[in-house]
Structure 1
């Protein structure tokens, strides 16, 4: 199982990379194929929404087929195939279709590892193991910043994507040969997604899951690039360095959140406090939108750090999911978490288009303000949640 988890972690590195690399391709794709920020917001949003929609069939497949075949087949077809399509793209539509395929390929990899954690390890360790997988896998977030900017400068974005297609195929083959499926839970209880949705405790958690990851996912995945280019006139390499800092902060935040529930004896207040702080940093970014490039990079890093509660929210919801529905349960939570970023990218793309004529700072003030308000609303609903500790 150890070798299989290592390969799944490599697959998650790819997943983190693919959700974040468009930020450093903004100028190149605009010059070569005429892609605008709105086009890239649509493509990025499509990745997240397709990824989220896939959580329903992936949840069923994890419970019925197992993580090995589910992750290997989808990553081979979607991940490798989508990267290959991106490498030969000539229009923004090709980029959007490629991102949709890549979303399909990446959709099972994190949930496959969470499924194994839920079945093979003690429940009390779930949040920590989930955070470690998320934190180590988030190295892909770092690779999608400055290193990718350098690769694009050296060999071009087409060759970079072609190389990623080959790497994705190799990792998919590694999953097939190393991952062992946990034993299936034998039970007389039959269940479905509908049974999960009947659990009242989840309905105070899911709204925050919908909005908590969206600010850091959307900023790091796309808007950091256009924002730093338009407001401060940074080069692509400098954007890569800035997003590298934000990516490192997101990883540090993931590791920081991981053990906090056990150290403090609560999940609810760890999650609530962190997300309220995230909303505050978003508000400050609105207020100081063009004061200083270093202040903006620092605030984006703090947003990434404080908004890294994803694994603890996952563990909070996991506590209310019966064993025979673990696959569908963790993927339902992931559907809301990742789907929230997709919806946010579509919304912020429209916000950008509607405010672009109001001045250079107006679109980004509106986008960051949108994130601050939605996170605050999610926190208000989450106040009524029931705490859970294993």
Structure 2
């Protein structure tokens, strides 16, 4: 395919799906006050409600991987986006914790293939040396969706209820599904390979898969779990910013995701041409990401409004594992290898997001409902501790 054809028929339709996926995944960070007020949620319930998206997303990964390799990304993405639209409508009608959680899980299941189908399609139609930079553009599209879930959503709530907002987003899911069905090409059929235990073992035992996951998996789960909910709560409880200021700072953070993703892709492509391993670039980014979280642990007070923005910026580096693994695995296994990785990431993100709320809930809130800074310091300290082993192992192996 020519460059313009790849852009309009492959990249744009799948990037729009990824955009919608990030928008719906990050939405609860802004809707949290309305959801807490309507369903009388505790921090643990709010974390559990938001993280059911990750749990359902993870549960869908293995069947999605089989479907992507067998039926192709076009048909799989069309069907699942319709499921996401149904879940979004159900969320608009939810009235209590159970109803909202079930709807949120349905949304997660329906959006489970957005990134993987894009990776599958792009690796089919693009030369390998373009993969890191194009993946950066794809993640930037997701960052744009997350940015839309902040200040633009906050402004939209001045003109409509959050229920009507969800209805419009359900319509967006249907529109993108139709766009993919009508425009996206069908990749050449790969020889069918059942997802047997041997195929699963082949994926997890692949040296590149194993080495990449050990370094990047836990930081990626931390980025997803904290970015989608707890950064906003930290801004409200520790520095004490209002809802408008929080929406603005989250918007800046998502802008950092957009430019950071593009920058990471371009930097990686530049570094690999000069003999650097992609994993070395990722390791440097993970080191900076962990150091930044130590500032949260230490209760750093200077320019607190910049911490969430830099957190989003450095967290972009964790997405590099998709392109590393997609290029290393055999073509017939790229769909299921990526979804195996997604399974691990989103199970971890569920645990991080729900566990963070459990830690915060160990302290009593103030009369205004704010939790003390020490609660967040302890939660971030635990996150740093679980990321250190993988980073230290990689650095020891690298310098040997």
TM-score normalised by L of structure 1: 0.91
Instruction: Name the residue aligned to 1:215.
Output: 222
Q: Which ranges in structure 1 are unaligned for 5 or more consecutive residues?
A: none
Write the distance in 2 (CA, Å) between the matches of 1:9 and 1:83: 19
Which of 141, 165, 171 aligns to 1:166? It is: 171
Alpha-carbon separation, structure 2, partners of 1:37 and 1:24: 15
Q: What does residue 350 of structure 1 align with?
A: 358
The aligned counterpart of 1:341 is: 349
Give runs of aligned pairs for residues 27-176 of structure 1, distance below 5 A: 27-77=33-83, 79-176=84-181
Give the structure 2 partner of residue 9 of structure 1.
15
Question: Is there any run of 5+ residues in structure 2 with no aligned partner, and where?
Answer: 1-5
Contact map agreement 1:213 1:338 (CA 8 A) in 2: no
| Structure 2 partner of 1:327 | 335
* CA contact 1:58–1:108 (8 Å) conserved in 2: yes
Equivalent residue for 1:281? 292
C-alpha displacement of 1:114: 0.4
CA contact (8 A) 1:215 1:303 kept: no
The 3 A distance-change label for structure 1 pair 56 and 114 is same
Matched, 1:378 2:390: yes
Question: Using the alignment, how far apart are the partners of 1:385 and 1:6 within structure 2?
Answer: 40
Correspondence for 2:250: 243
Q: Tell me the alpha carbon deviations over residues 325-358 of structure 1, each in whole angstroms, 9 at most, x when there is no partner.
A: 1111122222233332122112212211224469
The worse-fitting range, judged by mean Cα deviation, of 36-45 and 57-66 is 36-45
Task: Quote the Cα distance in structure 1 between the aligned partners of 2:329 and 2:150.
Answer: 36
Q: Provide Cα deviations, 1:228-287, integer angstroms capped at 9, x if missing partner.
A: 222233222221111111111122211111022231232121100101101011101221
Asked if 1:257 corresponds to 2:264, the answer is yes
Distance (Å, rounded) in 1 between the aligned partners of 2:181 and 2:378: 45
CA distance in 2, matches of 1:168, 1:378: 37
Preserved CA contact (<8 Å) 2:190 2:332: yes
User: What CA distance in whole angstroms lies between the structure 2 residues aligned with 1:3 and 1:384?
Assistant: 44
Q: Distance in 2 between matches of 1:276 and 1:46?
A: 29
Query: 2:14, 2:114 within 8 Å by CA — same for their partners in 1?
Result: yes
Which of the numbers 325, 336, 355 marks the counterpart of 1:317?
A: 325
What RMSD in Å do the two structures reach over aligned CA positions? 2.3
107-116 or 355-364: bigger deviation: 355-364
Contact kept, 8 Å, 2:86 with 2:170, in 1: the verdict is yes
Assess if the C-alpha contact under 8 Å between 1:68 and 1:176 holds in 2.
yes
Query: 2-side partners of 1:311 and 1:237: how far apart?
Result: 29
**Offset of residue 110 of structure 1:** 1.2
Distance 1:382 1:107 in 2: 30
